[in-house]
A and B are shown apart, each in its own frame.
Chain A
Amino acid sequence: MNGSYHFCAKSRKAIFDFTIKRNITVIKGDSATGKTTLLHILYEYLRVGRESGYSVSADVDYYVYLRREVGRDWQDDLFPLKNTVIFIEENNNFVFGKEFADFVKHSGNYFVIVTRAPITVLPYSIHEIYEIITDGKRTDIKESYHELKELYSNYPEAGNNLLKNIVTEDSNSGYQFFSKVFKERQVISANGNGNIINTVRRMGEGDILVIADGAAFGAMIEKCLEFFGSEDNRRITGWFPEEIRKGICAKCVKNHGIL
């Protein structure tokens, strides 16, 4: 599968209108935003169609996995699926396992997973982590209108960050590029996204800009941002563009307020 798939799921009370763009999407966020309601509408319509009282329009086949049924494992339900957007409800712990990661990699399906916990075995983008928001301003419909909103932006608010130190995720072309861009500053490589937090911890005083590839940073971003935000004695800004190696010129960096 490739490309984007649009869904519109409706009940008498609510409309969920969203597009799934990549093979791994995570939905999280505050409680009572409609995550379970959305999956319920999708599931019931899949089960009995318009007799559910719901309507779902989608330009792709989809499947909803809510919980394990007696006598069946997740593999029984999901392995036969092809070219399908698979929605998986919270509390299904198999999503954290290697076998599921292998299935995601090889099955060709798209996956939408409801979870607040980071899924470290999957390489998902920071841009495919969403919360459900309610648009309270629509006056043209009687239902409440809900859509997906990206939780993380790769254009950080540098604010008053003086960028004394730069930490890059990689030690190769990205590190070399930013060493040249930020030649007046100290640039250090963390040698992998798992080392970013320790590298930042070990740095002395001075504000820090952390640069990592957002394309596969989805499982790390919450930990990093929570850590950065909790440091009281210095400002730490995270910048997580995708595909750093394709060339982010200094002009782009400057235009987005990093310099």
Chain B
Amino acid sequence: MLKIWYNTGIEYLNDAPAYFDNVYEDEWLEDDLVKEMIRDVDHSEVLTPHIIESPVLGAITPRELSGGVKVLILMLKDDSFIYNMSNCGNNCAKWVLKIAEKKDLTVFLRHIMRFEGEFEIQIMNTGRIVHNRSEYVRGLLEAEGMLDEW
């Protein structure tokens, strides 16, 4: 399940892309799900764990991947921290849900990321579990104190 701490003062890893650059493992880049995320978010192909073909930058290393996809890979592979999901754009949202299907994933979020369809997300500030976009948006606004009532 995806568990979101919204805009509240919990400890999270502030600069996950920089952390990724220092800790990523070659075998992470051999994971099919990681390759799919890189293909979809960065529009790039993993050729080897050391070389990724980007349509804009040419041949790059994992250090030149986008910040959003680095955070996705960390969410999947490294449970050392709570990550800031606001490092990820809306084009990462479906992958966050896919990762949360595989394991409990607790994240920090500072903006309203757009999730589509049906899902199960727990807003940790209030404990409320939400299942669709309408409930999710109201849940975040409730957690922030912007709704008088549910």
Contacts and interface: CB of A to CB of B under 8 A. Distances in A.
A230 B133 contact: yes
A134 B56 CA distance: 10
A198 B146 contact: yes
B135 to A, nearest CB: 8
Interface residues of A, number: 34
Interface stretch (A32-40, A51-59, A162-170, A174-182): A32-40
Contact of B68 (A32, A144, A229): A32
A31 B86 contact: no
Interface in B125-140: 133-134, 136-138
Contact of A37 (B7, B57, B89, B134): B57
B89 A30 contact: yes
Chain B contact patch, size range = 35 or more
B34 to A, nearest CB: 15
Interface in A16-54: 28-34, 36-37
Contacts of B111: 116-118, 222
B67 A197 contact: no
A236 interface: no
B147 A31 contact: no
B41 A93 contact: no
B90 interface: yes
Nearest to B84: A91
B48 interface: no
